Amino acid sequence: MKESRGVSQRSKFVLVLATAAILAGCGGAGYGGGGGGGGVTIPVAPTGLAATGGNAQVSLMWTASAGATSYYVKRATVSGGPYTQIATVGATNYLDSVVTNGTAYFYVVTAYNSAGESANSAQASATPAVPAPDVTVTVDPTKTRAISPYIYGVNSYSGISGAPAMLTLDRAGGNRWTAYNRETNASNAGNDFHFQNDSYLSASSTPAEAVLSFIAADQAANLASIMTVQMQGLVSADESGPVNMTNPPISDAADFRPVVDKKNAAFTLTPPPATTDNNVYMDEFIWAVDQKFMGMGIFGTSTTHPVFINLDNEPELWNSTHKEIQGPTAVTLDNYISKTIALSKALKDQFPNATILGPVHYGFEGIYSWQGELAATPNGTNWFPDKYLPAIKSASTAYGKPLVDVYDFHWYPEDYDAGGTRVTSMSGTTLTDAQVQLIVQSPRNLWDPTYSDNASAGNSNPWVYNTLGAPIQMLPRLQTKIDAENPGMKLSITEYEAGGWNHIAGTVAQADMLGIFGNEGLFAACLWPPSGSYPYTLGGFRAFRGFDGGNAVFGDTSLQATSSNVGNVVVYASSDSHIAGRVVFVAINRSTTTHVTAINGVPLTGTAHLYQMTETSAQTQVAANGPVMPVSAGTMAASGSSITVSLPALSVTTIDVQ
């Protein structure tokens, strides 16, 4: 049956979506007539029809009619009809849940058997009730922040089965790219795969084909791209398999070739053999990529789908992930900063408007102490960014333009259950309540000054929290340092995971991450796809992109929203610069009970369209081999500056008002 919903004329828009207990039915109907040569007679109209209005539902009960085999339930929004048949039931009770709180409904019931249909029963009416909210979210529409279109990104888009439509960014990054040789397409994944030189990224003999085909596919899919340029110093010379790790680093030209930032000679699309010139040039690399897409300005600021540049990958771990070329000694902070400045200058000499992202940290210890090189203190100015940011600022001032545009890092939550399992390894379809809460609460480490992921929150190894002795708040901490030491630089997270890949907890956490990215003003973000299946995580993207099954998206301007109980409910609010008056909310309930939530403070007008993901709806979709995605929860007229939503346990609800 196609759903239809009434319209509230209340001065304030009130919307409640909830599921209440269904009232128990009365006794079954009996049969009249028949037998002994007698015929079946039309049953008399039912009597005793009663209607009781609950939260987002009306419960109907009536007395059985002799001889009835079924009953037709009919509804109107005007007393006396006309009535529309909404159900056929075999019992003497019916729960109408396709209703709007605050609207009066009028019902009649008829009895039916093979001889025909009775007259209408007497009319009964009810108005669904509006429960009092237990959570209040206050929106301040004067406190806004532009939402970057590039926060809805992934790594390796082409390899993701069932990738959501309308993603915006794709990254070619990870350990495999540090030793990538653009001239031959050879690469080495280091410790990730036997320190082996091979053709994993591309077996093509066309220079840079691994990158060119990646960008071409992104352009065809309407995605911006992040490519990786090599900064460590050596790249694979061939594709001949595992290298000799007896005494790394390996400088043998038969295995590896040197990287040079700037080529002081003419560029070419067909590099000479290594016997003629053994170097691999980075400025020639991006020039060659641009040549493939001539006229598109992919490294500019006005192209539709730009290409951004990562300065290598996780450099503080080169001595372990890429011991074959780095050796056992880590790159020092000063050496790394010098490498950054030299390579960035070479790239900007060719493309002054290119967007460069660095340092591409692997995680907290790289940010905090450069993997132990610095004697960092929680509230001191002796973190890695406190050395890096002013150095880049000084070099940029001397150069005449920013050398590194975006401070980039990776984020994998350090939250563990009692058995030592990290949230990023919680991939089962069944999780304990404690595991669910670790997953859905962990995104708060990125921003929330009230959240401590210590033992009281169930984290058996809260080493990051213990290091700082306070809430982690990674994004505000970094933003404060940027504002003080290199204002204007942006933030990005080009690898992250949140766990719960096959559970509604993963949907909740992923949606929360995307909301945080927009709220905190990130420039870009890319999910790192976990191994195995992860349909619930991909569902989190659909709360913001294509939530109507079509082209509807979250707004492009974040509105500050404050929850009275952020541990249970968070709401992300947005407006749309392209459609006047349009407001979109993503409301998240991370608790295991329903919460009635009032969202106040932003003017609303028009119609609210609701889309929702719950544990039940997601399980049904996965069982049918479909994607996890929002399902329509109806529409309602919107007016005033308040909306009340009943959020089911562990759910994500998108509300599009326009």
The neighbour count for residue 419, using CB atoms within 10 Å, is 9
Which of 583, 574, 597 is closest to 651 using CA atoms? 597
CATH of domain 146-542: 3.20.20.80
Amino acid at 91: A
> Helix or strand or coil: residue 229?
strand
Percent of the chain with pLDDT over 90: 85
Q: Is the peptide bond before 131 cis (omega within 30 degrees of 0)?
A: no
CA–CA separation, 329 vs 321, rounded Å?
A: 12
pTM recorded for the entire structure: 0.84
In the chain, what are the helix, strand and coil shares in percent, each to the nearest 5? 25, 25, 50
Q: Taking Cα atoms as reference points, which of 265, 262, 256, 267 lies closest to residue 181?
A: 256
Spot the catalytic one: 183, 209, 284, 314. 314
- Reduce the DSSP state of residue 455 to 3 states and report it: helix
Assign 540 a pLDDT band (cuts: 50, 70, 90).
very high
- Say how many C-beta atoms besides its own lie within 10 A of residue 123's C-beta: 17
How far is 197 from 165, CA to CA, in rounded Å? 35
Judged by DSSP in three states, 500 sits in coil
Boundaries of every domain in the chain: 47-126, 135-143+557-657, 146-542
pLDDT band at 38 (very low <50, low <70, confident <90, very high): low
Q: What percent of the chain has pLDDT over 70?
A: 94
What does the alpha-carbon distance between residue 475 and residue 197 come to, in Å, rounded to a whole number?
37
pLDDT, tens digit, for every residue of 131-149?
789 999 999 999 999 999 9
The yes-or-no verdict on residue 36 having pLDDT over 50 is no
**By mean pLDDT, which of 158-162, 430-434, 586-590, 619-623 is the weakest?**
158-162
Asked whether the domain spanning 135-143+557-657 has the same topology as the one spanning 47-126, the reply is: yes
pLDDT, residue 264, reads 94
Would you identify the CATH topology of the domain 135-143+557-657? Answer: Immunoglobulin-like (2.60.40)
Q: Is 384 helix (H, G, I), strand (E, B) or coil?
A: helix
> What CATH architecture is 47-126?
Sandwich (2.60)
Is 314 among the residues known to form the active site? Answer: yes
Separation CA 476–CA 473 (nearest Å): 6
Total Cβ atoms within 10 A of residue 50: 13
Query: Per-residue pLDDT tens for 419-428?
Result: 999 999 999 9
The mean pLDDT value for 579-601 works out to 96
pLDDT at residue 157 in the model:
95
Nearest by Cα to 153 from 485, 546, 524: 524
3-state secondary structure 416-440: ECCCCCEHHHCCCCCCCHHHHHHHH
